[in-house]
């Protein structure tokens, strides 16, 4: 239960930091910044939902991980690694056309890595559920 509480605390701190950024300063923000904040909020929300589900499962006495969840995580992480490599290569290839500065490019790359992991986890989970 300790890891779940740490995950919930990290989600709360991330959401608080995003709220401070969004409502604290009065500077003009570009569309890429709003896309980044929206993606970050989506990821924080998904992490909080996952932590909440894990907390409910732990309270009902279910084990933290079983063989299927470990297999799904292993398959998703290996696929996400290759997708992330492709995303970074594409970002490097099109960085001149996108017109992003280095900080924004790194932010988009990290968001692409998170999206790649989410998509690969979803794919592995659906594949595992439908195959057996």
Hey, where are the domains in the chain?
A: 1-64, 66-132
**What distance in Å separates the CA atoms of residue 22 and residue 37, rounded to the nearest whole number?**
8
State pTM to two decimals: 0.63
- Is 11 a residue whose pLDDT tops 70? yes
Token pair of 14 as six digits: 């991330």
pLDDT digits (tens, 9 = 90+) for 87-103: 999 888 888 887 777 77
N-terminal to C-terminal alpha carbon distance within the chain: 29
Q: Under DSSP, is residue 1 helix (H, G, I), strand (E, B) or coil?
A: coil
**Which DSSP letter does residue 60 get?**
T
CA distances from 37 to 15, 40, 101, 114 (A): 10, 5, 17, 13
Q: Which residue has the higher pLDDT, 7 or 86?
A: 86
Task: Tell me what pLDDT residue 26 has.
Answer: 67
**What distance in Å separates the CA atoms of residue 45 and residue 68, rounded to the nearest whole number?**
24
Q: At 111, is the pLDDT very low, low, confident or very high (cuts 50, 70, 90)?
A: confident
**Which DSSP letter does residue 64 get?**
S
- Is 82 a residue whose pLDDT tops 80? yes
Token pair of 18 as six digits: 């995003």
- Is 28 a residue whose pLDDT tops 80? no
Q: What is the CA radius of gyration of the chain?
A: 17
């Amino acid at each position: 239960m300790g890891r779940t509480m740490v995950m919930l605390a990290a989600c709360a701190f991330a959401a608080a930091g995003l709220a401070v950024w969004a409502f604290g300063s009065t500077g003009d923000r570009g569309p890429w910044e709003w896309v980044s904040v929206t993606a970050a909020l989506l990821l924080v929300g998904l992490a909080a939902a996952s932590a909440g589900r894990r907390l409910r499962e732990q309270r009902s006495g279910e084990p933290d991980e079983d063989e299927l969840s470990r297999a799904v995580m292993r398959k998703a992480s290996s696929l996400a690694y290759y997708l992330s490599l492709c995303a970074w290569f594409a970002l490097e290839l099109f960085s001149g056309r996108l017109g992003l500065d280095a900080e924004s490019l790194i932010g988009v790359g990290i968001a692409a890595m998170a999206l790649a992991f989410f998509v690969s986890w979803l794919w592995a989970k659906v594949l595992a559920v439908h195959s057996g």
